[in-house]
Amino acid sequence: MYSMNDIRRGLKIEFKGEPYEVIEFLHVKPGKGQAFVRTKIKNLITGAVLEQTFRSSDKIAPAELEEKEMQFLYKDGEQYHFMDMESYDQIFLLADQIEYERQFLKENMIVEVLFYKGKPISVELPNKVELRIVQTEPGVKGDTVSGGSKPAVLETGATIQVPLFVNEGDVVRVDTRTGEYLERV
Q: How far is 166 from 150, CA to CA, in rounded Å?
A: 9
Longest dimension (CA), the chain: 67
Q: Which residues pair with 15 in a beta bridge?
A: 18
pLDDT tens digits, 7-29: 888 888 999 889 998 989 998 88
Share of residues in the chain with pLDDT > 70 (%) = 95
* Contact residues for 171 (Cβ-Cβ < 8 A; gap 6+): 130, 131, 132, 133, 184, 185
**Domain range 4-62, its CATH number among 2.30.30.30, 3.40.50.10860, 3.30.930.10, 3.40.50.2300:** 2.30.30.30
* Coil vs helix vs strand at 86: coil
**Domain range 65-124, its CATH number among 2.102.10.10, 2.40.50.140, 1.10.3470.10, 3.40.50.2000:** 2.40.50.140
**Residue 16, by phi and psi: left (phi above 0), alpha (psi -120 to 50) or beta?**
left
How many other C-beta atoms lie within 10 A of the C-beta of residue 172?
20
pTM of the model: 0.74
146: pLDDT strictly greater than 70: no
Q: How far is 181 from 73, CA to CA, in rounded Å?
A: 25
